[in-house]
Amino acid sequence: MIGRIQYLKELARYMDKPVIKVVTGIRGCGKSVVLELFQKVLLQKGIQENRITFVHLDESAYAKLLDAKSLEDYIVERLQDGVMNYIFIDDAYRCSGFQKVLASLLARGNADLYISGSNRTALTEGLSAFQVIPMLPYSFAEYMEAQKQSMLKAVAEQSPEQHFMDFARYGNIPFTLQLFKNSRNINQYLLGLYNTIIVQDIASIHPIKEIKVLDAAMSYMLTHTGISCSSKKLADTLTEQGFKTTQPTAENYLQFMEECGLIFRVGRYDIKAREALKSLPTFYVADMGLSNMLTKKPEMNPILRNLVFLELKRQQYDVCVGKVGNNTIDFVASKGGQTWYIQVEAFVKEDKVLNRRLRPFRQIRDFYPRVLISLDRTTGTSESGIRFCNALEFLQNGQL
């Protein structure tokens, strides 16, 4: 089992503090597993098992706890007096009125609360004191670690380059690794995941008049990763496809997809003017497997940009898309008072491709580092100060 150390550290950071820990992210990314791993951490710290209560509201065994009173009674009767108790509720929003239960438990002062679920808004709406811990599926480093533990020797002994091609093709949802690169089985699983996101993570929470229009919107966004898209553009596209849609409805669909961790909205930043731009955000997706499942001919450039974006997000950079004149910088990444300008291109061995990707850098007048990330093995720094970074190395260590 992969440790998911980053998320365990975040949970430990807020342990015993009077806030509700809210673990959220795309369905299948491993939220329940992380909570189970954290329980083991608690046991290793010497906390007795009878002080830990885990409720899986998505399982039939807990079907009687889907109303607030039953859930609270179940938890309260397990609380130990005079010590801190650790309460974990998976898919908390399945319980009607769960917010009141959490508020009541928090007020007792002896309950440390952890909840999880795929829809961020449904989990946090009505809560007063909470800390969101957003989760992503496997990083490339975690993916490689998991593959090295594979029961199939041929998989375990693959090179990093071979692992990357599988990672780029099948995505990073943890369960797909158990399907041993069987394309048919992986696509069947991902299709089921896609439909479950529609039904359980969006339509069961928000009133959706026509599921087929939401389906078309999701399909479009997943197959056009890295594009600039407004709600008007999405509405026009859906209307052209035969699904008459208004701009407000399209904006709602985009927000619903963001809520359940399926897509990420990235704003634009005018580098010369030093100001954020409100128009045409760029969207990236949480898992390339879902995107590739729906895309007839996946291309490496948008895949690689998406993977770099996810790693930047995982490393907690603030990320936007840079505008410099009429050109675009793929990512302006900031953290700890430092800023990096980043271009991503699968291969830059051809001079015309290299010059095209470096041209926007030359229009920038400040002295922040400029980085070109590619699959080429070329590394180092050019005469003009542009650093060449190998994509596999960046995806493994997250260092620019």
The tens digit of pLDDT for each residue in 312-370 reads: 999 999 999 999 999 999 999 999 999 999 999 999 989 999 999 999 999 999 999 99
* Per-residue pLDDT tens digits for 295-309: 988 899 999 999 999
Domain termination residue (choose one: 88, 107, 134):
134
* Distance of alpha carbon 394 from alpha carbon 392, whole angstroms: 5
Two structure tokens written together for 386: 């542009």
In-domain check, residue 307: no
Residues 256 and 373 in one domain: no
Q: What is the CATH number of the domain that holds 320?
A: 3.40.1350.10
Range of the domain at 340: 313-397
CB 84 within 8 A of CB 51: yes
pLDDT at residue 151, as a whole number: 63
Amino acid at 295: T
In-domain check, residue 272: no
Amino acid at 370: R
Residues 158 and 289 in one domain: yes
In-domain check, residue 303: no
In-domain check, residue 305: no
* Per-residue pLDDT tens digits for 134-169: 999 999 999 999 988 876 666 767 889 999 999 999
Residues of the chain by 3-state class (helix, strand, coil), percent to 5: 45, 20, 30
What is the total count of domains within the chain? 3
Residue 336 neighbours by CB under 8 Å, 6+ apart: none
Residues 244 and 126 in one domain: no
* Per-residue pLDDT tens digits for 255-290: 999 999 999 999 999 999 999 998 899 999 999 999
* Per-residue pLDDT tens digits for 184-227: 999 999 999 999 999 999 999 999 989 999 999 999 999 999 99
Residues 145 and 291 in one domain: yes
Domain termination residue (choose one: 134, 162, 189):
134
Tokens 């908390």 locate to 92
* Distance of alpha carbon 384 from alpha carbon 400, whole angstroms: 17
Q: What is the CATH number of the domain that holds 110?
A: 3.40.50.300
pLDDT at residue 279, as a whole number: 87
In-domain check, residue 306: no
Residues 161 and 287 in one domain: yes
Residues 355 and 317 in one domain: yes
In-domain check, residue 301: no
pLDDT at residue 199, as a whole number: 96
In-domain check, residue 393: yes
Residues 289 and 170 in one domain: yes
Domain termination residue (choose one: 84, 101, 134):
134
* Per-residue pLDDT tens digits for 102-141: 999 999 999 999 999 999 999 999 998 999 999 999 999 9
Residues 145 and 283 in one domain: yes
pLDDT at residue 19, as a whole number: 97
Q: What is the CATH number of the domain that holds 203?
A: 1.10.10.10
Q: What is the mean pLDDT of the chain?
A: 94
* Per-residue pLDDT tens digits for 40-56: 999 999 999 999 999 99
In-domain check, residue 304: no
* Distance of alpha carbon 301 from alpha carbon 295, whole angstroms: 14
Residues 148 and 240 in one domain: yes
pLDDT at residue 153, as a whole number: 66
Residues 96 and 72 in one domain: yes
Residues 102 and 221 in one domain: no
CB 21 within 8 A of CB 86: no
CA neighbor of 19 nearest in space, from 135, 115, 120, 106: 106
Write the DSSP assignment of 140-167 as a string of letters. HHHHHHHHHT-SSHHHHT--HHHHHHHH
Residues 354 and 383 in one domain: yes
Name the pLDDT band for 385 (thresholds 50, 70, 90). confident
Specify the higher pLDDT residue, 154 or 254: 254
